[in-house]
Structure 1
Amino acid sequence: MTRSTRRDRRGGRPRRTARIAVPALLLAGALLFPRLLPDRPGNLGSLVETVLPWFGVAIAALLLGAAARGTKVAVAAALVPLAAWCHLFVPALTAPPRAGPSAFEALSFNVGGTRTTPEAVAREVIATGADLVALEKMPVSAVPAYEKALAAAYPHHATRNTLGLWSRHPLREVEAMDLGGPWPHAIRAVVAAPGGDAAVYAVRLPSVRVRATEGFTVGPRDAAAAALADRVARDPAPRVVLLGDLNGSLADRGLAPLARHLEAAQDQAGRGFGFTWPAALPVVRIDHVLLRGLEATTTRVLPDLGSDHRPVLTGLRPTA
C-alpha cells in the first residue's frame, strides 16, 4: 500500500463520518427545537412540526448508514436523534390506559369523501353510543337526510352549513361563528351535559395543501385558528369541549393559540399517535378533542367508516 493511499483512507473516514454526524445533529435539533426553524420560505417550520413523528424513518436510515460506515463516531452521532425521538414519543406510545367512569361520550367525525351516505353514517354514529356528536364537512344538500337519520337517537341538534351538532341532552345558545372564509368554520352551543353545562364547539378549519409554488398553505387556517382561540379564551363557560377537524397537528405552531387555552384529550387519555388522516392509512392526527374544565377518561380513533378521516370517540367527565 502506498503512502498516498494510506493518506486517502485516513482522510476518507472523517468525511464518511461527517456524512452521518451532520444530518444526525440537524435531525436532533429539529426534533428538540422545531420552533427555531424559520417559517419562510413556504411555512417550512409548520410542515416540519406536522411530520415530526416520521423523523423516525430518517433516523432508522441514519443508523443503517452509520453501521455500514463502521465507525463508532458515526454510530454515536446517529444515536443522538434516536434519543431525542424516544424522549418525545415513547411516553405516548407506552402510556397506560386511564381508568375511571365517564359522565358522557363525545364523537367527532369529518364525514367528507365519496364513500359515505347519511344513513350509513347515522348507523355507525348511533352504534358508538356517543352522547354528543359533531359532524364536519356534510354536503349542504345532505343535511336534511342527516337530520332525519339521527333524529330518533339524538332529539337535540343544530346545523349550520357543513357543520352539525347532535346531542342526547338539550342544546341552547347555538351560534354560527365566522372565522373568515366563505362559510362558518365553527358552531358554538351550550349542552346540558351530565355534571353541568358545557360550551361545545364543532369545528372545521380551512384546509391546507403542500404546493410547489407556495409551500405549505397554512395562512387561512392559522388566521381562523387564532380567531377561534380568541373566542375560546373569552368564553365564560367553566367547561369547554372542542370537537373537530383542525387540519393540522397540535405540534404545528399555527395551532399554538388553541393549544395554549385547551388541553388535548389525546394527551390525557390517549395511547400512541392517534393518527386520523387519511383514513385508509393514517399518517397525521388532524381531528381533535380539546378540553377545558373537563378531563378525558378514554379516547380512541375508530376504524375507517367510509370517510377520508377516521372518527375520534372520547369519554369525558368534569374536573370538579
Structure 2
Amino acid sequence: MWRRGIITAVCALLLTLLLVMHSSVPNRIGNLGSLLETFLPWAGLAIPVLLLIGLLRRSATALIAVLLPIVVWLNLFGGLVSDKSAGGGNLTVLTHNVNAQNPDPATTAKDVIAAGADVVALEELAENQVSTYETQLKSAYPYHSVKGTVGLWSKYPISGVRAVDIRLGWTRAMRAAVATPSGTIAVYVAHLPSVRVNFSLGFTANGRDRSADALGEAIAKEKLTGVILLGDLNGTMNDRSLASITSQMRSTQGVAGDGFGFSWPADFPMARIDQIMVKGIEPKSSWVLPATNSDHRPVAARVEVA
C-alpha cells in the first residue's frame, strides 16, 4: 500500500509546486509564465486524474500526496467557486467585445440593451458597423462616444472624452467622465492587443504587455476618485504582465462574482479575459451574460458609486 503509486505521488508533488510557484515560471522563454497563469485554474483537472489513479492502485502514498494540490488549488481558487454577490449598488455597467466579424450587429445591440446596464462599453467595433450600433442603442443610451475601435454608451451625460494612448499607433482605448446620479466617475474602455500561442515563438504577448503598462500609467494619473475599467484585456487577473493595472484596481468578478466568470471563447469559455475593474468604487455583484453573435460573452457588474 505504501510502496505502490510512487510515480503518482511525485506527479502530485510536481503539480503542487507548479500551483504554488507559478509566478516563478520565467517569461523569458516564450512568455511561458503568462501562458500558465492565463489557464492556471484548469491545472486542477489533473487532480481527479491523480486521485483516480491512486484509488485504482490502492496507494496510501499517492492518496496522501494528492491532498497537497487539492489544498493549494482550493486556497487559490476556492473563493471563486462560491457566490460572493451582494445586494445593493446604484450603477450597472457592462462590457462586450462585439467581434469585428459579427454577422448580425443589430441583434447583438438588442442583446446589450436587454441586459439593462446603465453604462455600456463595446470593443472591436468595425468601422462599417459603428452606425448600426449607434442607431440601435440610441433609444436606450442617449449619450455615447466612439474612439477608434472602442465606444462608450451611457444613460447619463458624459464629458472629458479622449483617446488613451496604449502604444499601438491606432486607438483602442478611451476615457470619459460619466455624471451618474451618485457622482461623476471616470470610465476607461480598452481593448488590449491580442495574444497568440505559436509553437516557434511561444506565447506572443509582448504587445499586450506594453499596452497594459501604458493603460496602467494612464489610470494611475486619473484625477477623479472613482474609476471603472471596462474592456477586453486579453489577459486574466492571474497574469503577472497585467500587474500595472491589477496592482491598483480590483476585479469585480474576484470580489463580487459567482463562479469563475469565464468569458472567452463564447461557445466554451475557458478564460476570463473580459474585465470590469474598479478603484474607489465598491463592487456588489458581477456576472457573465449569455452568448451573443460575438466570440466573447458580455460581462456585467453592479457597483456602488459613493
Same fold (TM over 0.5): yes
Range of TM-score over shorter length: over 0.9
In the other structure, the counterpart of 1:219 is 206
How many angstroms apart in 1 are the aligned matches of 2:105 and 2:227? 28
CA 1:113–1:69 in 2, change beyond 3 Å: closer, same or farther? farther
Task: Select the structure that is richer in helix.
Answer: 1
How many angstroms apart in 2 are the aligned matches of 1:241 and 1:96? 19
Measure how far apart 1:50 and its partner are.
0.9
| Cα-Cα RMSD | 1.6
In the other structure, the counterpart of 2:71 is 83
In the other structure, the counterpart of 1:189 is 176
How many angstroms apart in 2 are the aligned matches of 1:55 and 1:274? 17
**Contact 1:268–1:295 (CA<8 Å) still a contact in 2?**
no
Residue 266 of structure 2, aligned match among 276, 279, 287: 279
How many angstroms apart in 2 are the aligned matches of 1:312 and 1:147? 20
In the other structure, the counterpart of 1:6 is none
Residue 310 (str. 1) matches residue 291 (str. 2): no
In the other structure, the counterpart of 1:49 is 37
Residue 229 of structure 1, aligned match among 216, 221, 234: 216
Deviations 1:76-120 (A, max 9, x none): 1112111111222222212343122x2121110000064443321
Residue 68 (str. 1) matches residue 60 (str. 2): no
CA 1:237–1:116 in 2, change beyond 3 Å: closer, same or farther? farther
**Contact 2:123–2:190 (CA<8 Å) still a contact in 1?**
yes
Deviations 1:10-55 (A, max 9, x none): 9xx85x6331122211211221221111123211111111111101
How many angstroms apart in 2 are the aligned matches of 1:303 and 1:272? 15
Deviations 1:124-161 (A, max 9, x none): 11111111110000111111221122112111111012
Superposed counterparts of 1:231-310, under 5 Å: 231-310=218-297
Deviations 1:168-195 (A, max 9, x none): 1111111111212242121101110121
Residue 178 (str. 1) matches residue 165 (str. 2): yes
The TM-score, its normalising length taken from structure 2, stands at 0.96
> Which consecutive residues of structure 1, in runs of 5 or more, have no partner in the other structure?
1-9
**Contact 1:264–1:289 (CA<8 Å) still a contact in 2?**
yes
Residue 36 of structure 1, aligned match among 24, 36, 39: 24
The residue type equivalent to 2:20 in the other structure is L
Q: How many residues align?
A: 306
In the other structure, the counterpart of 1:168 is 155
> Which consecutive residues of structure 2, in runs of 5 or more, have no partner in the other structure?
none
Residue 130 of structure 1, aligned match among 117, 121, 143: 117
**Contact 2:100–2:126 (CA<8 Å) still a contact in 1?**
no
- Aligned-residue identity in percent: 43
How many angstroms apart in 2 are the aligned matches of 1:95 and 1:300? 10
In the other structure, the counterpart of 1:3 is none
